[in-house]
Amino acid sequence: MCYETRSLIVTTNLQFGQWNHVFGDPILTEAVIDRLIHHSHLLFFNGDSRRLRDSILQNK
């Protein structure tokens, strides 16, 4: 319902090739990715995860 009408931010630590493990169906996964990246801006961040680091420090 939001397709091409609203803004959406999706964050993930998985590459698109790994999304099939989440959705379980390669055709569904391809359709979801196709709609997400159409008219989109992809931002890739490299480096250590701040949330992972904070979680590790919190559990010590």
Range of the domain at 45: 16-58
**Looking at the domain assignment, is residue 9 inside a domain?**
no
What one-character-per-residue DSSP string does the chain give?
Answer: --TTTS------SS-GGGTHHHHS-HHHHHHHHHHHHTT-------S--HHHHHHHHHT-
What pTM did the predictor assign?
0.65
Report which of 36, 6, 3 is spatially closest to residue 19, judged by C-alpha positions.
36
Residue 42: is its pLDDT beyond 80? yes
Alpha-carbon dihedral angle through residues 33, 14, 11, 2, given to the nearest 10 degrees = 20
pLDDT band (50, 70, 90) for residue 6:
confident
Q: Is the pLDDT of residue 3 over 80?
A: no
In this predicted structure, the answer to whether residue 2 has a pLDDT above a threshold of 80 is: no
Q: What is the mean pLDDT of the chain?
A: 88
Could you give the number of structural domains in the chain?
A: 1
